[in-house]
Amino acid sequence: MKISYQMVITALAGLGLLGCSAKKEEKPEEVGNKEPLSIIFMIGDGMGVPQVSTAYYFGDSLPNFSRFEHIGLHKTSDKKYEITDSAAGATAFSIGQKTYKRAIGVSVDSISQETILERLKGEGYQTGLISLTTITHATPASFYAHVPDRDMHEEIAAQLIDAEVDFFAGGGKKFFNKRDDGKDLFAELLSKNYHLDTLGLSKPESNKRNAYVLADDGIPSKIEGRGDYLSEATKNALDYFDQREAPFFMMVEGSYIDWGGHAKNAEMMISEVLDFDKALGVVLDYVEATPNTLLVVTADHETGGVSIGKHYEMDESTGEKKEVPEKVSVYFNTDQHSGELIPVFANGQGAENFQGIYENNEIYHKMLRAINQAK
Ligand code: MG
Ligand code: ZN
């Protein structure tokens, strides 16, 4: 439960302090402004402008993307390659430096760097991570782990135990309980005051940390029948953080937009974008209703070199291809990542910092700037 401006005024009035001349110089709105800024950072892995565009052509209603008031673009290149990967991409966001491909939470010379999640935890923030793939996968791992290569899943899982993230949800059971070193990391989580669920999204316990590890590998994709996991996990996390005093930093990943691009599977990619947009709706509602919150949404890179073009169907009478005016088709130019500038959407306090065109690692600095401005 957070202290609202109205509650402060009511309390001061109750104590008869509002008329007191000694207190006159303390403007009431300064009391409200001292609450630290909470940040929800959402990454649609592989989500460039073409992927966002599919929400406008294939969705049933106006996408939640239309609710954003501040929009910018970032350049995704890593330290060496113009075309990055998800490890260097997420690490640029988490440590504020461009690094090499496959790097997790380390600089270009493989030195561990404090991540934004670790830094804010040190300042008393609650922390959260939600992913669709294994919780040790490159994007979530870049916020709590420090390893030279993204495939070091067992080491990354061990570092997750030490990170003491307050709420996390994703897949990757095998890296906890079927490890080469024989350790049982689930037992270690339980010894660290975690409510652990390996079956489903049970209600988070407010007096504990909460861990949801729900699949041996990744959680199923939308077309494989995932259901509403992303929106529900996000809602549960927001409810959990909201019940407690401290501000929070949470990263939520829509992981499989990227996988749809690699597979050149338009149905998979579009369904993942629409599911991500649904989760955006949950967070946008929360941010609009909650002062001192900021939502930043972006991607690490685009995947598939996607374009949205003319849709043709065979004309029965002529036997020739004919353009269908009210439809579009998705075209893939590659099964790899691409180098397009990537959109950044922001709403809430400090959202104006994210306008303009800048490098990917600037997003880290812009988030910290928004926090400092709120102080
Ligand atoms: Mg990812
Ligand atoms: Zn990828």
Contact 363, 296 (CB under 8 A): yes
Q: Give the pLDDT band (50/70/90) at residue 12.
A: very low
Extract the tokens encoding 30. 């300064």
- What is the CA(259)–ligand 1 centre distance, in A? 9
pTM of structure: 0.91
Q: Strand locations in 48-145, DSSP E?
A: 70-75, 126-134
Instruction: State yes or no: is 338 an active-site residue.
Output: no
Domains of the chain: 38-374 (3.40.720.10)
| 354 DSSP 8-state letter | G
Question: From the CB of residue 310, how many other CB atoms can be counted at a distance below 10 Å?
Answer: 12
Residue 5, pLDDT > 50, answer no
Ligand nearest to the CA of 301: 2
Lowest mean pLDDT among 62-66, 131-135, 313-317, 329-333: 313-317
- CA–CA distance, 92 with 269 (Å, rounded to integer): 24
Q: Give the pLDDT band (50/70/90) at residue 16.
A: very low
The overall average pLDDT reported for the chain is: 93
Q: Give the phi and the psi of residue 289 in degrees, each rounded to 5.
A: -95, -10
Ligand nearest to the CA of 303: 2
> What mean pLDDT comes out for the span 287-294?
97
pLDDT tens-digit readout, 317-355 = 999 999 999 999 999 999 999 999 999 999 999 999 999
Exposed, middle or buried: residue 199 (CB in 10 Å: 0-12, 13-18, 19+)? exposed
Ligand nearest to the CA of 87: 1
Q: Give the pLDDT band (50/70/90) at residue 9.
A: very low
Contact 89, 360 (CB under 8 A): yes
Contact 370, 294 (CB under 8 A): yes
Residue 35 is predicted with a pLDDT of 83
DSSP string, 130-175: EEEEETTSHHHHTTT--BS-TT-HHHHHHHHHHHT-SEEEEE-THH
- What is the CA(168)–ligand 1 centre distance, in A? 15
pLDDT tens-digit readout, 184-205 = 999 999 999 999 999 999 999 9
- What is the CA(101)–ligand 2 centre distance, in A? 12
pLDDT tens-digit readout, 49-60 = 999 999 999 999
- What is the CA(258)–ligand 2 centre distance, in A? 5
Return the closest-CA partner of residue 258 out of 346, 354, 132: 132
pLDDT tens-digit readout, 108-133 = 999 999 999 999 999 999 999 999 99
Beta bridge partners of 225: none
Query: What b-and-e string marks burial along 245-269, b requiring 16 or more CB atoms within 10 Å of the CB?
Result: ebbbbbbbbbbbbbbbbbbbbbebb
Ligand nearest to the CA of 89: 1
- What is the CA(105)–ligand 1 centre distance, in A? 14
- What is the CA(269)–ligand 1 centre distance, in A? 14
- What is the CA(353)–ligand 1 centre distance, in A? 25
Return the closest-CA partner of residue 222 out of 301, 299, 132: 132
- What is the CA(48)–ligand 2 centre distance, in A? 12
Residue 34 is predicted with a pLDDT of 59
Return the closest-CA partner of residue 142 out of 159, 126, 125: 159
- CA–CA distance, 147 with 155 (Å, rounded to integer): 8
Q: β-strand 342-348 against 70-75: which pairing, if any?
A: antiparallel
Residues with CB under 5 A from ligand 1 (ion): 45, 86, 139, 255
Ligand nearest to the CA of 130: 1
Which is catalytic among the residues 38, 53, 86, 94? 86
- What is the CA(85)–ligand 1 centre distance, in A? 9
Beta bridge partners of 74: 342, 358
Portion of the chain with pLDDT greater than 90, in percent: 90
